[in-house]
Structure formats: structure tokens, C-alpha cells
């Protein structure tokens, strides 16, 4: 279900969550078997994804379903404009619980929310913004979404420290992650430091540096074992 954008989020939004991303509907059973908090359908990476497909998914998967159409500019394959984005998402929307919306498509946020869907407002960049830029980005994302998701590309260890510090201090809930495999070790640390969710896979990664959900759970277990 979606959430009233004018109301505070419930307590369970602030706990660590695992989302499995899939780029082919044949991966659904493997993803569901891992019992993630949600399954993300990377619609932009799929050859086909129809309302009938999602209806079939709903007959098998009772958990949360996140729809994502990632633009080329932010690392995906969707090359259309905002009108094309709405046209693509509209027939699928009744079957979703959450929708990822990039800033370029944000004027559709009110329409998506009117369908009782939770919005993950996202921004992905191959650059490493400073703390001030991260704050500005976060504010913009929160202006139209319940959960801001900021994915950046650290270039050096000092960037990793900046990102961890920002995650600790940021208003919650927030999702912070990284692009690429160079600093993939940051993914579990960001989750521990306050990022609300981690995007994983169940055998077929949809992004470089993504952990298998079992690996992520085990890393988190080991890191928290001493507590």
C-alpha cells in the first residue's frame, strides 16, 4: 500500500530491509524463495513486462512489489521522456506497492501517489557529490517522495568516509548506496549506518557490485555479531 505523503512514516520503515532486483520474470521464483522485504522489477531491463505478467506474479508473490524504469542518464536503459515514462508505467501500476521515480519524472509523483503507491524518489550519478550537494539532493527528493534514494560513485577513501558520515546524520528514512564495484564493500556498511534498504540479487545481478542477498545477510550478521 502507499502512504499519505503528509503523514509520518511508520516505525517499520526505519528497520534494515533487503530488496531483490530482477531483470527477467524467470528470476521471480528464485527471488521469492529468499523472502526479501520487496522485489524490484527493473522494467527498463526487461524485454517484456505486461499487466498479465504482473497479475501472474501477484498470484505467487504476496510481498511488496517495486516498479523501476531507470533512465539511460542514471544507469538504466529507458530512453524515453516523462510522457513515455507515464505511458509505460500506467498499465503496470495497479499491481505495484512502490514506484521508483527519478527527478526528471517527478511531476508524475502526485498522480502515482493518488493511486495509493509509495514513492522511492531516486537519483543516481557517476560523480561523488559533497555533503552540501547531498543535502540539496535529499531535500529535492523528499519534496515528492516518501523515501529518498541517493546512489553515488565514491572515487577515494575520503569519499567513503563522507558518505558514511552523511548517512549517519541524515534524516530517516533514507536509502544511500553506491554505483559500481570499486567500493562495493560500502553497501553493507551503509545499511548498518542507517540506510533503510539494500538492493541485492538472487543469482543475476542487475547492477555492478550488487551482493547476493545471502551474502549481504551474512556480512551484516558477522558485522553485528559482536554487538
Cell numbers found for residue 81: 521522456
Sign of CA pseudo-dihedral 23, 25, 31, 36: positive
149 has catalytic annotation:
yes
C-alpha 176/C-alpha 170 separation (Å) is: 10
124 has catalytic annotation: yes
> Which long-range contacts link 160-166 to residues 24+ away (Cβ below 8 Å)?
160/186, 162/128, 162/130, 162/131, 163/128, 163/190, 164/189, 164/190, 164/193, 165/131, 166/131, 166/134
Contacts of 155 (CB under 8 A, 6+ apart): 128
Give the C-alpha distances (Å, rounded to integers) separating 161 from 167, 168, 175, 190.
10, 11, 16, 11
What secondary structure, in 3-state letters, does 63-75 show? CEEEEECCEHHHC
Q: Exposed, middle or buried, 140 (CB in 10 Å: 0-12/13-18/19+)? A: middle
From 124, 172, 201, 225, the catalytic residue: 124
Q: Which of 17, 108, 117, 149 is catalytic?
A: 149
Sole residue written with cell 577513501? 157
Q: Name the residues annotated as catalytic.
A: 124, 149
Amino acid at each position: 500500500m502507499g502512504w499519505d505523503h503528509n503523514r509520518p512514516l511508520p516505525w517499520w520503515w526505519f528497520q534494515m530491509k533487503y530488496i531483490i532486483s530482477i531483470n527477467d520474470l524467470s528470476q521471480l521464483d528464485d527471488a521469492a524463495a529468499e523472502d526479501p522485504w520487496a522485489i524490484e522489477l527493473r522494467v527498463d531491463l526487461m524485454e517484456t513486462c505486461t499487466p498479465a505478467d504482473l497479475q501472474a506474479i501477484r498470484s505467487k508473490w504476496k510481498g511488496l512489489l517495486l516498479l523501476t524504469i531507470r533512465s539511460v542518464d542514471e544507469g538504466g536503459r529507458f530512453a524515453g521522456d516523462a510522457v513515455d515514462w507515464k505511458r509505460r508505467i500506467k498499465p503496470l501500476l495497479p499491481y505495484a506497492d512502490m514506484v521508483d521515480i527519478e527527478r526528471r519524472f517527478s511531476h508524475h509523483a502526485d498522480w502515482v501517489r493518488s493511486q495509493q503507491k509509495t514513492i522511492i524518489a531516486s537519483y543516481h550519478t557517476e560523480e561523488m557529490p559533497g555533503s552540501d550537494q547531498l543535502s540539496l539532493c535529499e531535500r529535492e527528493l523528499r519534496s515528492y517522495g516518501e523515501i529518498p534514494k541517493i546512489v553515488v560513485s565514491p572515487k577515494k577513501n575520503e569519499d567513503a568516509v563522507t558518505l558514511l558520515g552523511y548517512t549517519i546524520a541524515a534524516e530517516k528514512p533514507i536509502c544511500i548506496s553506491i554505483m559500481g564495484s570499486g567500493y562495493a564493500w560500502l553497501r553493507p556498511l551503509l545499511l548498518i549506518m542507517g540506510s533503510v534498504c539494500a538492493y541485492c540479487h538472487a543469482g543475476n545481478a542487475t547492477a555492478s557490485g550488487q551482493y547476493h542477498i545471502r551474502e549481504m545477510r551474512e556480512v551484516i550478521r558477522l558485522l553485528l555479531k559482536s554487538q
